Structure 1
Amino acid sequence: MQEVILVKLGEIVLKGLNRRTFEDRLLKNIRRRIARAGNFEVYSMQSTIYIEPKDEDADIDEAEERISKIFGVIGYARACVCEKDMDAITKMAPEYLNDTLAGFKTFKVESKRADKKFPLGSMEISREVGAALLRANPHISVDVHNPEITVRVEIREKAAYIHGETKPGAGGIPVGTGGKAAILISGGLDSPVAAWMMAKRGVELTAIHFASPPYTSERAHEKVVALLKKVGEYAGRMDMITVPFTEIQEQIRDNCPEELATVIMRRFMMRAAERIARERECSALITGESLGQVASQTIQAIACTDAAANMPVFRPLIGSDKSEIVTLAHRIDTYDISIEPYEDCCTVFTPKHPRTRPTLNVVEAAEQKLDVEQLLKNCLEKTEIRHL
């Protein structure tokens, strides 16, 4: 019995004259992401992407798992391939679906006749397949209004395809269609979720992490690597650039008012991240900030931070509360890693009483005691790149 995976497209179908560009990118992403699962043929026909194993070593289970995390896929189904003949279809349907139906009490059949040359209409196909399934499964009954499971028969150009429920995909649009941006990534809950959200909108990511040894440990660094690998299951390949930040933080601590330390630190992060982003042809920065969550995330503090950057800064979590962020972290499997008790540079120099409503002129005056350009030059000369 031959099995394939049928991939359903989401908002790609609404892209008008640009649709082909989005489909081509999705096909490319699928081929790359399932390559480790074996030899598959991947092609598009009639608004569906077909993924066909080409030899016995192709692992369709692994391919299915990988497809579930590819942005641009709204749904997918594992289906058996059948000759376009009603006798063959009614014989194949029970053989393929009996184990699936064993756990249900009600079902219905929906048919799609994309090949209009097929002699029976959709209603007739559904009726005959439903009758065959009832004969093979006397424990189950038909419920066309509220079935526990829907069986689908698709009569397409090359063959007929029989499958159960279509599973939800990751949604969004294919990574690589939304440009490039740099995500400022820490070991907390928020920034990995922000990275995932922007990748869902087609953005190709570069990750920038600020480390402050010896205040931050190698285990804290590896925690960030682990988080990015989880995000990468959806976002695809990315580079992680680690910026040594100790000197800058010590200079801020020693020369600037304590209540302004966090906002000045974040302004340095923006400056450094922007320079890295431009070198890597990124058009924007991304952070995991949520309005009002901490002192550095008030409107006034964010305005002071953004004044140090000369490119757009995206904050996909800006209107989210913590419970919503936690829910998404569980969904993408970053939560347990994020709560591991390893410090990051944003917390080791946290002032006791940060100013929640800083003004730009006061912050810029405080920075006059620092050699901004030399400090940036020193840290950017020592960055490390890790390919994930």
Structure 2
Amino acid sequence: MMQFVIRLHPEIIIKSRQVRKRFTFLLEGNIRRIFKRNHLSVEVRASWDKFTLIVNKKSLDKVDEVIELLQRIPGIDQIIQVEKSTFTDLDDICQQVKQAWQPLLVNKSFVVRVRRRGKHEFSSLDIARYVGSYLNQNCDTKGVELKHSDLTIEFEVNDNTLIQSHHRIKCLGGMPLPTQESVLSLISGGYDSGVATYQMIRRGARTHFCFFNLGGREHEIGVKQVSYYLWKRYSESHRVKFISVDFEPVVADILENVANSQMGVILKRMMVRAASQVAEKMHISAIVTGESLGQVSSQTLVNLSVIDKAADTLVLRPLICMDKLEIIDQAKHIGTEEFAKVMPEYCGVISKKPTTKADPAQIANEESKLDFGIIERVVAEAKIQDILSIAEEAAQQTEYVTEVDVLPDNAIVLDIRTAEEQEQAPLTLANTKVQHIPFFKLASQFAALPQDHQYFLYCERGVMSQLQAMLLNEQGYTQVQVYRP
């Protein structure tokens, strides 16, 4: 039997009894919901300080997928893989422990710790000594070290059952969704907004996505992909909304009427106003930005204070004390770096000498030249859609994209998954050429491919393939289809 012990994030454990009960109840529901959505057969058993997840027989061949899902659920601090088996004698125990631990013992010192229950002819200490001696003689180790070992081999003997715990795996941590109130994250597709969104999800806030479109359809498709990725990877236990606001009319009004040095601060104030109106419509009490203190001219303390006063809604800035390298490192860790690297910068307005100390009176004077009815209009016309409809929207674009499950002769398949996904589940097709171009590089690299071939885009669930194929079709590349085996 394969099972995992799920350890809770430490902050959950120190909560009061009532709060802890609520948090663990939510986390248990999230685990069940995510595994059901991913069609994996497991059982979840809750206890006071941990969960036990049992992988049912028909999902035993998908243990790697089980581990990956558990690592991405907010509220789980670590998981411990546990295997149960029967044994006949001490030699049998040694063989089974060796099979599990031998690859990890190479050039490592170790100690064996055993818990025993039931009636046996040997004690826990006897088992530990016997197994330790056997491993030391039959594995390439640095020997037994009782106090400062590299590895601790722990297992339990319960009557004739051997219970091995190994492979402690660090997980996301944080708080279960939705233990905090809902928030609205201003998502642009860049490094900062992606990491800020992740931070709020990890903290247990159901995080909706608000996108101010400054770059047309291509910009929107790119940001939809980032948003769908973040939701699918870290918060798929709960449905959220993706809101797209056409902000080009607002930018045009600023460019025409506002003094150059004040444009950056005023643009941010307009975004805060619009986001606040969207949040009010959705009964959300806070908005989230990726701003970091002193990173650019609009992010000085003075300017941030002036920006905040544009609306009464609480503005959260989870990256406020992070520097750019820290943000980029976290983007790498969560998987949004590749999106951000190729996402064009749509600044909207660029000031030659932007103010770093905005004067509220001057800002008010400049804003008096603007038509605030434009803000009301673009918010009223904003497109609000369920995050799942991004996948459905891509799948329904049959007028643009054809899906096939059987490839024609001489077809070329473009595997557009990330390098990590490709390594975990390589795509190998007999008699068919497979090229690897991650979806975030496809727009820039597709034009360099020979244009006299048919190309079939492949990804795990078809969402990214549909979005990319649709975009390439719109750009005139009609030989692009989707491969869904």
Fold-level similarity (TM above 0.5): yes
Letter in structure 2 aligned against 1:74: D
- Does the 8 Å contact 1:186/1:210 carry over to 2? yes
User: For the residues of structure 2 that align with 1:90 and 1:19, how far apart are their CA atoms?
Assistant: 40
Distance 1:169-1:128 versus aligned 2 partners, 3 A rule: farther
Bigger mean CA offset, 272-281 vs 309-318: 272-281
User: For the residues of structure 2 that align with 1:385 and 1:147, how far apart are their CA atoms?
Assistant: 55
User: For the residues of structure 2 that align with 1:336 and 1:285, how far apart are their CA atoms?
Assistant: 25
2:478 is matched with: none
User: For the residues of structure 1 that align with 2:16 and 2:27, how far apart are their CA atoms?
Assistant: 16
- Does the 8 Å contact 1:27/1:42 carry over to 2? yes
User: For the residues of structure 2 that align with 1:66 and 1:238, how far apart are their CA atoms?
Assistant: 19
Q: How far off its partner does 1:184 sit?
A: 0.7
Q: Does 1:382 align with 2:345?
A: no
Bigger mean CA offset, 36-45 vs 19-28: 36-45
Distance 1:314-1:125 versus aligned 2 partners, 3 A rule: farther
2:357 is matched with: 357
Q: For 2:57, what is the secondary structure of its paired residue?
A: coil
User: For the residues of structure 2 that align with 1:364 and 1:83, how far apart are their CA atoms?
Assistant: 77
- Does the 8 Å contact 2:4/2:54 carry over to 1? yes
Give percent identity, aligned residues only: 27
2:4 is matched with: 5
Deviations along 1:324-367, whole A, 9 cap, x unmatched?
111111111111210114232xx132222211111112111211
Deviations along 1:237-257, whole A, 9 cap, x unmatched?
432211110111101111111
2:246 is matched with: 244
Q: How far off its partner does 1:95 sit?
A: 3.6
Q: For 2:180, what is the secondary structure of its paired residue?
A: coil
2:102 is matched with: 98
Q: How far off its partner does 1:54 sit?
A: 2.1
- Does the 8 Å contact 2:331/2:337 carry over to 1? yes
- Does the 8 Å contact 2:189/2:343 carry over to 1? no
Distance 1:363-1:124 versus aligned 2 partners, 3 A rule: farther
Distance 1:384-1:306 versus aligned 2 partners, 3 A rule: same
Higher RCO (CA < 8 A, seq sep 6+): 1
1:323 is matched with: 325
Letter in structure 1 aligned against 2:20: R
Distance 1:275-1:348 versus aligned 2 partners, 3 A rule: closer
Matches within 5 A, 1:177-326: 177-212=179-214, 216-232=215-231, 233-236=233-236, 237-326=239-328
User: For the residues of structure 1 that align with 2:55 and 2:167, how far apart are their CA atoms?
Assistant: 21
Bigger mean CA offset, 86-95 vs 335-344: 86-95
Q: For 1:161, what is the secondary structure of its paired residue?
A: strand
User: For the residues of structure 1 that align with 2:107 and 2:78, how far apart are their CA atoms?
Assistant: 22
Q: How far off its partner does 1:285 sit?
A: 1.0
Q: How far off its partner does 1:268 sit?
A: 1.3
Distance 1:46-1:21 versus aligned 2 partners, 3 A rule: closer
Q: How far off its partner does 1:298 sit?
A: 0.9
Q: How far off its partner does 1:138 sit?
A: 6.2
Q: For 2:335, what is the secondary structure of its paired residue?
A: coil
Bigger mean CA offset, 288-297 vs 71-80: 71-80
- Does the 8 Å contact 1:104/1:149 carry over to 2? no
Matches within 5 A, 1:13-92: 13-17=13-17, 18-35=19-36, 36-45=38-47, 47-57=49-59, 59-82=62-85, 90=94, 92=96
Letter in structure 2 aligned against 1:64: I
User: For the residues of structure 2 that align with 1:252 and 1:270, how far apart are their CA atoms?
Assistant: 15
User: For the residues of structure 2 that align with 1:309 and 1:162, how far apart are their CA atoms?
Assistant: 56
Q: How far off its partner does 1:123 sit?
A: 5.4
Q: How far off its partner does 1:209 sit?
A: 0.7
| Equivalent position to 2:145, from 139, 143, 146 | 143
Q: For 1:329, what is the secondary structure of its paired residue?
A: helix
User: For the residues of structure 1 that align with 2:138 and 2:48, how far apart are their CA atoms?
Assistant: 32
- Does the 8 Å contact 1:126/1:153 carry over to 2? no
Distance 1:279-1:161 versus aligned 2 partners, 3 A rule: farther
User: For the residues of structure 2 that align with 1:138 and 1:343, how far apart are their CA atoms?
Assistant: 53
Letter in structure 2 aligned against 1:366: E
5+ unaligned residues in a row in structure 1: which ranges? none
5+ unaligned residues in a row in structure 2: which ranges? 389-485
User: For the residues of structure 1 that align with 2:384 and 2:224, how far apart are their CA atoms?
Assistant: 12
Letter in structure 2 aligned against 1:285: I
- Does the 8 Å contact 2:190/2:343 carry over to 1? no
- Does the 8 Å contact 1:74/1:172 carry over to 2? yes
Q: For 2:357, what is the secondary structure of its paired residue?
A: coil
User: For the residues of structure 1 that align with 2:133 and 2:76, how far apart are their CA atoms?
Assistant: 32
Letter in structure 1 aligned against 2:35: I
Q: How far off its partner does 1:83 sit?
A: 5.4
Q: How many pairs were matched up?
A: 378
Give TM-score, length-normalised by structure 1. 0.88
Distance 1:191-1:126 versus aligned 2 partners, 3 A rule: farther
User: For the residues of structure 2 that align with 1:85 and 1:6, how far apart are their CA atoms?
Assistant: 25
Distance 1:290-1:122 versus aligned 2 partners, 3 A rule: farther
Q: How far off its partner does 1:34 sit?
A: 2.4
User: For the residues of structure 2 that align with 1:182 and 1:79, how far apart are their CA atoms?
Assistant: 39
User: For the residues of structure 1 that align with 2:135 and 2:210, how far apart are their CA atoms?
Assistant: 55
